Amino acid sequence: MGRYEEAVADLTRAVELDPEHAVAFGERGETYRLMGRYEEAVADLTRAVDLDQGLAWVFRGRGQCHQALASYPEAVADLTCAIELDPEHVAFGERGETYRLMGRYEEAVADLSRAVGLDPEHAVALGRRGETYRLMGRYEEAVADLTRAVELDQGLAWGFGSRGQCYQALARHEEAVADLSRAVELDPG
């Protein structure tokens, strides 16, 4: 769809009509997040939280914004709130990724494993757990997760790249070249 500007205009009108409408603030914040306008998103999502503390998806969105802004402790706090409000929430994957970015690999693996447990076909969570295993030097486990991730989503350039790095570390050079070439083919940048 991608009609974000129109959505922002409609949601702005909604919050003008009802400045206590938590969901409208949350939806506008989510729209800003999807547009990459993280500061504006955080402002709206914070307003939504101020109005209604029970919206797990709002905490998740704000956590994703904090992660994108490299405000990792804030991201963990918000994603934890989302999980506490809804223990079956997909926020485990985002919190796991945040822990990985913080270098807290054991916590990352635990959360990413929980995300995979909730959805065994969650390609990104599998790939991120594989990437975490790679960073931990646990290459065989990394290859297993990354293989499953790229089977589920053939467009995960970073998944092929990470698996290629694992193959390189395991001295499986032909497989490394094949995966790294596939990663470059999918994402030349």
Q: What is the pLDDT of residue 90?
A: 77
DSSP H helical segments within the chain, as ranges? 4-17, 22-34, 38-51, 56-68, 72-85, 91-101, 105-118, 123-135, 139-152, 157-169, 173-186
Which residues in the chain come in under a pLDDT of 50?
none
Q: What is the pLDDT of residue 89?
A: 73
Q: What is the pLDDT of residue 171?
A: 97
User: How many other CB atoms sit within 10 Å of the CB of residue 140?
Assistant: 9
The model's pTM is: 0.91
| ∠ Cα 41 73 116 (to 5°) | 85
Cα 2 to chain centroid distance, Å, stands at 19
Q: Give residue-wise pLDDT tens across range 162-182.
A: 999 999 999 999 999 999 999
d(CA 35, CA 59): 18
Q: What is the pLDDT of residue 1?
A: 55
Evaluate whether 105 touches 99 at the Cβ level (below 8 Å).
Answer: yes
Q: What is the pLDDT of residue 55?
A: 95
d(CA 101, CA 103): 5
HSE-CB at 1 with a 13 A cutoff on CA atoms is 8
Domains of the chain, earliest start first: 1-89 (1.25.40.10)
Q: What is the pLDDT of residue 189?
A: 84
Query: Which positions ≥6 away from 7 have C-beta within 8 Å?
Result: 27, 28, 31
